[in-house]
Structure 1
Amino acid sequence: MARILALLSLLLLSPSALAQVSVDGVRTSSTDNGTRVVFDLSGPVEHRVFSLPDPHRVVVDFENTTVDAAVLEAAEGQGVVRNLRGARRDRRDYRVVLDLQSQADVKSFLVKPNDSYGHRLVVDLGGNSRGESPAEPVRTASERNRRELVIAIDAGHGGRDPGAIGPGGTFEKDVVLEVARRLADLVDREPGMRPVLIRDGDYFLELRERTRRAREQQADMFISLHADANPRRNVQGASVYTLSNQGATSEAARVLAARENSADLIGGVSLDDKDDLVATVLLDLSRAATVESSVELAQFMLGRLGAVGRVHRNSVEKAGFVVLKSLDMPSVLVELAFISNPDEERRLRDANHQARLAQAIMGGVRDYAEHALLPELRMAAGEQREHVVQRGDTLSGIARRYQVNLSSLRSANNLQGDRIMVGSTLVIP
């Protein structure tokens, strides 16, 4: 009877549980030709291998595999490999990350058992260093060029232009620079993103120079930071603005835009000349799509700021800010608070509150990157493109959405036809 129960229990186990592979050891070695990492396996395994930049690393995704943490801890860094780390991705799969000293070419292949070793996955960095020849092709992530998302962070005013001045004597230019620096630190720590501080010190920049610097760095987003002011000291709350095509959405927005735009007069530079006019007309060609993206970014950001403190309005405002007229990238202007309000002025001077504001803005950037970016930019923000099938999705529709070939999409997911299941995850090649 016991034998029958044991057989029944084996039959009830899922095929994936019976087929689960384990990584029993990891060996690293280095020669003049490159570095080799060998994973000793209990059986053949489905997997993906791909590289990521800044910082340089190689990712190995094992399907239906278990890895003992002690196995990775025992592996030594060799050659270009600084260290190995890993984590379970879900109940079945496991991801191993090789942190690299520098960029390296990656080759990988499976090796069948021989007299000395069992199944192995070999990852060569910088060249095939010795003897074991390839046995099976490896499914890899797309070789499409990945790049960082560049986030331009513009601390408003500066130098001879102090911006608004609080009742306690706090200069707007100083508090927004502090928040900008904190935000830049957060962006710098985010995988796949790079910050560009438009102003990293106390000096004056013309408004057009700010957007020129952002375009020069090929920025994907532009965030201008300010601290609002109002004759009534009880007015409070953060606001997020985007460019208006037809004028300000409120009288307050109109007055604010006029004050911010007048900053160029302090530098003695007129914005009303033919070159600027021609540039504006040319940039108008891309206005519709960019304004729409800017509103999406602003909405994510406003929601995050609302979790930190009060918001002046519950919706995104629009005004004719010169600094937002870059138009070739999603652009927002954030009024962190009303520096004219004594309570908000004190909070703006507080280092902890500055950090919370920077974290809220970073949260908005991250939300936008994850939900609203074009597919080719989303690749830069994350490690791998995947799509979770929703009700109503079709394979051809998903291919059009991500701008990939339908047959390539089938091949990357081992599909024989076009049938897909709701809730399943597709790899986007």
Structure 2
Amino acid sequence: MIRLIGLVTMVFWAVTAYALPARIAALNFSGGQGEGVTIDVSGSPKYRYFTLQNPSRLVVDLFDTLPVGALTQPAVDHPLALAVRTAVRNDHDVRIVVELKNAVEAHAAALSTATGLQIKIGLTAKASTNSAASAGQSVKPVKMPTLAAAEKADGRSGEGKARIKAEPEVLATQSAPRKTARSSGKGRDIVIAIDPGHGGKDIGAQGPGGTQEKDVVFAIAKRLESAVNRQPGMKAVMIRNGDYFVKLRERVNIAERAKADLLISIHADAFEDTSAHGASVYTLAEKGASSSVARYLAASENAADMAEGNGVHDETLASVLADLSHKAAKDASQHVGNRVLRSVKGVGHLHRSSVQKAGFVVLKSPIPSVLIETAFISNPAEEKRLNSRAYQDQMANAVFSGIMAHFKRYAPADTLFAQLQKSGAIRLASRGSDNAETVARRDVAAKSAAKAVRHVASRGETLAGIARQYGVSARELRHVNALGADDVRVGQVLTIPQAI
């Protein structure tokens, strides 16, 4: 009997030990000569890792591993890493995504420890050279790894299966490295692609007084271009620089060829109800539009290419929407949209008090993209405002202020703007809409952001609970992170403001 009890105990212990999932004990970043990330795990889970581009990310999948709470975020001045987030997959796996400042080569090694496994992933920045492109030769498409390809790979067949094969049918064009207007080696310019809607034979909407949308949005776009180009460390690229027609997908292509960091598309609303008024800001909706008006406007704007018989088919965009890069672009678009909306609110009435979502073709891009409906041209009073140079200036400067607010927090590390921001040399170059109080408020926000820490939301956490943990108010958390509600997502990175 004693022998039988002992046998049952051994079997129970073996089954329990086998079924016990691993846990992430720690995640740390290193700089200097040993740049990389170290993940300590209890147990010995199978894992895989791979890198993605546009934007650059390192992805680590840990199988049969429990989710983790707050992860250590990389230092602000880390040479390669920007942020880290996690997500639960298949109810029992954890995916870690490290957002990177540059494309990297990744190399992993796993060491057994007393408590489990230590996975060390070394990161080496890739050299940004492209002899064919720099020589002006035609560049052949190259295969790029995608999320779909990663999902097909069997990472359970062995520890540390590193490379994910690229899907043959998904191609990306390899292009020359970013060029900067400054060749002093101090950093490249942040490139803002400005898209005045419609143009040429596509007049857009028309107001009751005969004003054509293509004309007023071009005027606002040119004023925005001037504001951007006056700002040290920024450069504007116009999608169209005159009165001519550009297909919707080509607008995105122009922005991509310019290596744009942000795409701003400028329009003027029109609706059947001529009493509709106010400005709106839109980002891409992957599913349904956020309102019937949003759905109507997206259909109207997208109709330009359809009339040409050259509609943009969503199948051609599947690789973009499937890739994790779209998630990063979507998050950045939302942040820019919130900042722009906040600035535009000071110019006049908002049609919607939050950033709206709709399926605008021009927003279907791996580049962070925002579409701004500056006013309702179908409203007689707003048609008059759109024709006013004063309103055009105010709207352009408000949009520019929102762009500045975004990049003062999220400037790419390789840019001159980031270096100027770090040295405290950034000053707004726009005119008209910025008074001393606004500038002072931005300076306070910049100082607060510089002292901020980051928190990665884990399962079960609430905004109120996170606020209590750090001794700040939930209202302040909502404001700093541009949140519309108290809900937080698992893996969402929150900026925690600290006392100045």
- Aligned match of 1:390: 451
- Aligned match of 1:365: 403
Distance 2:349 2:223 in 1: 21
Structure 1: gaps of 5 or more residues: 1-101, 106-142, 394-421, 425-429
How far the C-alpha of 1:246 sits from its partner, in A, is: 1.5
Q: Rg: which structure is higher?
A: 1
**Contact conserved, 2:338 with 2:355, CA < 8 A, in 1?**
yes
Distance 1:319 1:374 in 2: 27
Query: Alpha carbons of 1:146 and 1:239: their partners in 2 closer, same or farther (altered >3 Å)?
Result: same
- Aligned match of 2:417: 380
- Aligned match of 2:290: 249
Query: Alpha carbons of 1:382 and 1:300: their partners in 2 closer, same or farther (altered >3 Å)?
Result: farther
Query: Alpha carbons of 1:103 and 1:162: their partners in 2 closer, same or farther (altered >3 Å)?
Result: closer
Distance 1:165 1:392 in 2: 48
Query: Alpha carbons of 1:381 and 1:344: their partners in 2 closer, same or farther (altered >3 Å)?
Result: farther
Query: Alpha carbons of 1:382 and 1:356: their partners in 2 closer, same or farther (altered >3 Å)?
Result: farther
Query: Alpha carbons of 1:246 and 1:339: their partners in 2 closer, same or farther (altered >3 Å)?
Result: same
Distance 2:194 2:453 in 1: 39
Deviates more, 1:245-254 or 1:384-393: 384-393
Residues 280-308 of structure 1 deviation map (CA, whole Å, 9 limit, x = unaligned)? 32453011111010000000000111000
**Contact conserved, 1:148 with 1:381, CA < 8 A, in 2?**
no
**Contact conserved, 2:188 with 2:414, CA < 8 A, in 1?**
no
Counterpart amino acid of residue 348 in structure 2? G
Distance 2:277 2:421 in 1: 41
3-state SS in 2 of match to 1:385: helix
- Aligned match of 1:299: 338
How far the C-alpha of 1:278 sits from its partner, in A, is: 3.7
- Aligned match of 1:343: 381
**Contact conserved, 1:191 with 1:381, CA < 8 A, in 2?**
no
**Contact conserved, 2:251 with 2:362, CA < 8 A, in 1?**
yes
Alignment of 1:118-157 (within 5 A): 146-157=187-198
Alignment of 1:59-208 (within 5 A): 146-208=187-249
- Aligned match of 1:240: 281
3-state SS in 2 of match to 1:231: coil
Residues 179-238 of structure 1 deviation map (CA, whole Å, 9 limit, x = unaligned)? 001100110100100000101111111000001000000000000000001111111000
Identity across aligned pairs (percent)? 45
**Contact conserved, 2:338 with 2:354, CA < 8 A, in 1?**
yes
Distance 2:212 2:247 in 1: 18
Distance 2:214 2:182 in 1: 39
**Contact conserved, 2:412 with 2:418, CA < 8 A, in 1?**
no
Distance 2:329 2:375 in 1: 26
Distance 1:153 1:384 in 2: 23
- Aligned match of 2:350: 311
- Aligned match of 1:12: none
Residues 84-127 of structure 1 deviation map (CA, whole Å, 9 limit, x = unaligned)? xxxxxxxxxxxxxxxxxx9797xxxxxxxxxxxxxxxxxxxxxx
How far the C-alpha of 1:329 sits from its partner, in A, is: 1.6
Distance 1:312 1:210 in 2: 26
**Contact conserved, 2:269 with 2:374, CA < 8 A, in 1?**
yes
How far the C-alpha of 1:384 sits from its partner, in A, is: 5.0
Query: Alpha carbons of 1:104 and 1:170: their partners in 2 closer, same or farther (altered >3 Å)?
Result: closer
Distance 2:452 2:350 in 1: 36
Query: Aligned pair 1:258/2:296, yes or no?
Result: no
Residues 138-173 of structure 1 deviation map (CA, whole Å, 9 limit, x = unaligned)? xxxxx7x61100000000001111100000000000
How far the C-alpha of 1:270 sits from its partner, in A, is: 2.7
Query: Alpha carbons of 1:392 and 1:352: their partners in 2 closer, same or farther (altered >3 Å)?
Result: closer
Distance 1:197 1:104 in 2: 22
Residues 60-95 of structure 1 deviation map (CA, whole Å, 9 limit, x = unaligned)? xxxxxxxxxxxxxxxxxxxxxxxxxxxxxxxxxxxx
**Contact conserved, 1:244 with 1:320, CA < 8 A, in 2?**
yes
Distance 2:275 2:187 in 1: 48
Query: Aligned pair 1:333/2:371, yes or no?
Result: yes
- Aligned match of 1:20: none
- Aligned match of 2:265: 224
Distance 1:200 1:316 in 2: 28
3-state SS in 1 of match to 2:274: coil
Counterpart amino acid of residue 326 in structure 2? R
- Aligned match of 2:68: none
Alignment of 1:22-33 (within 5 A): none
- Which TM-score applies when normalising by structure 2? 0.48
Distance 1:214 1:104 in 2: 22
Distance 2:419 2:382 in 1: 36
3-state SS in 1 of match to 2:288: coil
Query: Alpha carbons of 1:233 and 1:392: their partners in 2 closer, same or farther (altered >3 Å)?
Result: closer
Distance 1:104 1:362 in 2: 25
Distance 2:199 2:182 in 1: 39
Query: Alpha carbons of 1:356 and 1:391: their partners in 2 closer, same or farther (altered >3 Å)?
Result: closer
Structure 2: gaps of 5 or more residues: 1-180, 424-445, 455-497
1:290 to 329, 351, 357: 329
Distance 1:367 1:198 in 2: 23
Counterpart amino acid of residue 233 in structure 1? T
Distance 1:103 1:161 in 2: 37
Query: Alpha carbons of 1:294 and 1:233: their partners in 2 closer, same or farther (altered >3 Å)?
Result: same
